[in-house]
């Protein structure tokens, strides 16, 4: 089991305790590129509601879901993508020497941005299709943004930077929320497909909530089920090509992982992860799974230059976060 940190310690009135927590956070992120957090500030009811709404959306008939379609190109990331539209193995090779086979992703997803994003508008289900989705997701997004800023402050303190160093690069809310449904599939389908292929996230940090679903449509956490589950897996240690299950304590816990931009700023390791068939169990059908990922991304104009003196100066021209996002995302859509 990997370390679980309690983010309420960050709010301690005793600044020594707070700073100690921030150093622990950095120590965990330095080891593996990710950490499990509780009391992160996103209220449990809001997480439950978002999962409920997500489930109800993906339960709709395909023609209803396609009334708010993702554009056929990789950006902007907005709206519904049916199974087969996005295949992440096309970008698996980034900063990895391992040869990645081309794999189909067996997932469907819904991408949402901030309502305040000046560049891209959201694509919402039209009136009459899943009313309530929009409000629920906007409120969840706001909670995640507030949590993001606190976590960025904690990372800044832990690294010995001024408290708002990272927050200041995230004022424009260019963040994205992604609901993913991994439908029930036949085990044999994993021969040339996966859930989501190995990759690093492109932004600063990702807050990931996961909900493994058992029978009867109920939600509960089953660490040792007798049927096959797909797990989120993290590369451990970083760079090893070995993936271990990132099991967690249920949907209210959040996995925070370092993305490519934070790596460029701070040298913390951007965590490679994937969702694939769990190795331990044997069964014919692989049950469905739900996750919600909130991708904290830098302001588009932010320069990706090292923030710590201890880091080497990059040899190439510095990129803005926007240039980098475009470079990374190209090619992910079929």
Ligand X SMILES: O=C(O)CCC(=O)C(=O)O
Shortest spacing between CB 270 and ligand X, in angstroms: 12
148 makes contact with ligand X (CB under 6 A): no
For residue 127, report the phi and psi dihedrals to the nearest 5 degrees. Answer: -50, 140
x/- mask, ligand X, residues 247-286, rule CB under 6 A, reads --------------------------x-x-----------
Task: Tell me how far apart the alpha carbons of residues 211 and 220 are, in angstroms, rounded to a whole number.
Answer: 8
Q: Determine, following the binding rule CB under 5 A, whether residue 176 of this chain makes contact with Fe ion.
A: no
Provide DSSP, 118-133.
SS-----PPTTSSTTH
* Contact range with Fe ion by CB under 5 A, out of 25-33, 194-202, 215-223, 298-306: 194-202
180 or 194: whose CB is closer to ligand X?
180
Contact letters for Fe ion, residues 200-239 (x by CB under 5 A): -x--------------------------------------
Binding of ligand X by 55 (CB under 6 A): no
Task: Compose the 207-246 pattern: x for residues touching ligand X by CB under 6 A, - for all others.
Answer: -x-x---------------------x--------------
- Helix, strand, coil percent content, the chain, rounded in steps of 5: 30, 25, 45
275 contact, one of Fe ion, ligand X, none, CB 5-8 Å limit per kind: ligand X
Convert 171-180 to b/e letters by CB count within 10 Å (16 or more is b): ebbbbbbbbb
Which does residue 232 touch among ligand X, Fe ion, none (CB within 5 to 8 A, set by kind)?
ligand X
- Residue nearest to ligand X as judged by C-beta position: 291
- Before 320, cis peptide (omega within 30)? no
Least separation, in Å, of the C-beta of 158 and ligand X?
A: 24
Residue 208 interacting partner from ligand X, Fe ion, none (CB closer than 5 to 8 Å by kind): ligand X
Site for ligand X in 176-205 (CB under 6 A): 178, 180, 196, 201
In the complex with ligand X, which residue's Cβ is closer, 28 or 211? Answer: 211
The closest residue (CB) to Fe ion is: 201
End-to-end Cα spacing for the chain: 36
Closest approach of Cβ 132 to Fe ion, in Å? 27
Q: Considering the complex, state which of residue 159 and residue 229 has its C-beta at the smaller distance from ligand X.
A: 229
Question: In the chain, at which residue ranges do the beta strands (DSSP E only) sit?
Answer: 4-6, 34-38, 79-81, 104-105, 108-113, 176-182, 185-186, 193-194, 196-199, 205-212, 230-235, 243-245, 254-258, 273-277, 285-286, 289-296
Length of the chain counted residue by residue: 334
State how beta strands 34-38 and 4-6 pair.
parallel
Q: Is 291 in the site for ligand X (CB under 6 A)?
A: yes
Among 147, 139, 137, which residue's Cα sits nearest to residue 79?
Answer: 137
Is 297 near ligand X (CB under 6 A)? Answer: no
Q: Residues 12, 299, 87, 233: what is their CA dihedral angle, to the nearest 10 degrees? A: -20
Q: How far apart are CA 289 and CA 44, in angstroms?
A: 19
Contact between 75 and 326 (Cβ < 8 Å): yes
Q: How far is the CB of 199 from Fe ion (least distance, A)?
A: 6
Regarding 153 and contact with Fe ion (CB under 5 A), the answer is no
Minimum CB–partner distance for residue 23 and ligand X (Å)? 27
Q: Quickly tell me which residue has 């070995």 as its tokens.
A: 242
Q: Which residue's structure tokens are 């993702």?
A: 70
In the complex, the residues that contact ligand X under the rule CB under 6 A are: 178, 180, 196, 201, 208, 210, 232, 273, 275, 291, 293
In the complex, the residues that contact Fe ion under the rule CB under 5 A are: 201
């Amino acid at each position: 089991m990997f370390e679980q940190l309690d983010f309420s310690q960050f709010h301690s009135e005793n600044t020594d305790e707070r700073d100690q927590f921030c150093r622990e956070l950095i120590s965990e992120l330095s080891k593996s590129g990710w950490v499990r957090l509780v009391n992160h500030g996103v209220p449990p009811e809001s997480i439950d509601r978002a999962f409920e709404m997500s489930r109800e959306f993906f339960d709709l008939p395909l023609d209803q879901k396609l009334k708010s379609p993702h554009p056929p190109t990789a950006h902007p990331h907005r709206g519904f993508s049916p199974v087969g539209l996005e295949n992440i193995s096309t970008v698996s090779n980034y900063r990895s020497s391992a040869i990645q086979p081309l794999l189909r992703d067996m997932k469907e997803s819904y991408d949402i941005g901030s309502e305040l994003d000046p560049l891209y508008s959201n694509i919402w289900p039209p009136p009459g299709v899943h009313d309530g989705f929009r409000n629920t997701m906007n409120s969840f997004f706001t909670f995640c943004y507030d949590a993001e800023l606190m976590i960025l402050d904690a990372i800044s303190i832990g690294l010995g930077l001024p408290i708002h160093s990272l927050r200041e690069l995230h004022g424009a809310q260019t963040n994205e929320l992604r609901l993913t449904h991994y439908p029930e599939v036949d085990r044999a389908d994993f021969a040339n497909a996966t859930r989501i292929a190995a990759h690093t996230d492109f932004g600063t940090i990702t807050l990931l909530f996961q909900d493994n679903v058992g029978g009867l449509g109920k939600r509960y956490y089953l660490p040792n089920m007798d049927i096959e589950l797909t797990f989120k897996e993290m590369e451990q240690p970083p760079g090893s090509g070995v993936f271990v299950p990132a099991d967690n304590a249920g949907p209210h816990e959040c996995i925070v992982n370092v993305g490519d931009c934070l790596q460029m700023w701070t040298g913390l390791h951007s965590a490679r992860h994937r969702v694939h068939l769990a190795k331990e169990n044997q069964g014919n059908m692989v049950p469905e799974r739900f996750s919600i990922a909130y991708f904290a991304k830098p302001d588009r104009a932010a320069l990706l230059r090292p923030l710590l003196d201890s880091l080497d100066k990059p040899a190439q021209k510095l990129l803005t976060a926007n240039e980098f996002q475009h470079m990374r995302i190209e090619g992910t859509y079929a």
